[in-house]
A and B are shown apart, each in its own frame.
Chain A
Amino acid sequence: AQTVTQSQPEMSVQEAETVTLSCTYDTSESDYYLFWYKQPPSRQMILVIRQEAYKQQNATENRFSVNFQKAAKSFSLKISDSQLGDAAMYFCAYRSALDDMRFGAGTRLTVKP
């Protein structure tokens, strides 16, 4: 099974500043999808951003962007201009046509006012 590793159990950022959450993955597939999900205390899993492996351009969604390094199997999430509402658990996830969704252990992000 493919593995997804998030090496930062907890991260903290000052409001309005930028934070980067790390994610690495292991796969032998060439075609796959990567995701970042946000889970606030409400428990609802919310898709933040997705990246198709065949695309070289890094995905961007407003204040959220990724740094996708396919050769290094790295997929980090950058949150710019952090807001109090960004505080949540963030999960990196991987899936391919041959594999179900696999999640990392998660990173708890705290935003300080």
Chain B
Amino acid sequence: SAVISQKPSRDICQRGTSLTIQCQVDSQVTMMFWYRQQPGQSLTLIATANQGSEATYESGFVIDKFPISRPNLTFSTLTVSNMSPEDSSIYLCSADRVETEAFFGQGTRLTVV
């Protein structure tokens, strides 16, 4: 198993600003992912964070809006840029090793005002 620390757990931000969410895993993992989840709904994959290379984004998500870093095998960040109220959501980090279950951080509840 793996333990994932995600922070901040929640934040209230002004529109037009940016927020960086951090995800730290307690052991090396192959894959790290970032999801968005509206309350009461399922998880939508934003991107796969690739170590040492650019993230792979899903349709509808772009690097300028959601830049992602993954400098090593245990750490990744997601930045939500130029925020608007529509970005208010829960953001989840997950990690796994190939062909195993995914482990999740506790999520970041973002509110943009």
Contact = CB atoms under 8 A, between A and B. Distances in A.
Interface of A: 33, 35, 42-45, 47, 50, 89, 91, 93, 95-97, 100-101, 103-106, 108
Contacts of A35: 101-102
Contacts, number: 49
Given A45-B92, A91-B43, A103-B43, A97 B106 contact: no
Interface residues of B, number: 22
Contacts of A106: 40-42
A110 B29 CA distance: 35
Given A45-B102, A103-B42, 7 more contacts: A33-B99, A35-B102, A44-B104, A47-B101, A97-B99, A101-B33, A106-B40
A108 B40 contact: yes
28 contacts: A33-B99, A35-B101, A43-B90, A43-B106, A43-B107, A43-B109, A44-B106, A44-B107, A45-B92, A45-B104, A47-B102, A47-B103, A50-B101, A91-B43, A96-B99, A100-B31, A100-B33, A100-B45, A100-B48, A101-B33, A101-B45, A101-B96, A104-B42, A105-B41, A105-B42, A106-B40, A106-B41, A108-B40
B94 interface: yes
Contacts of A105: 41-42
Interface string B76-105: 000000000000001010101011111110
Interface string B30-67: 01010000001111010010000000000000000000
Nearest to B98: A97
A43 B106 CA distance: 6
A100 B78 CA distance: 18
Contacts of A103: 42-43
Contacts of B100: 33
A101 B107 contact: no
Contact of B101 (A33, A43, A96, A97): A33
Given A91-B43, A106-B42, A101 B106 contact: no
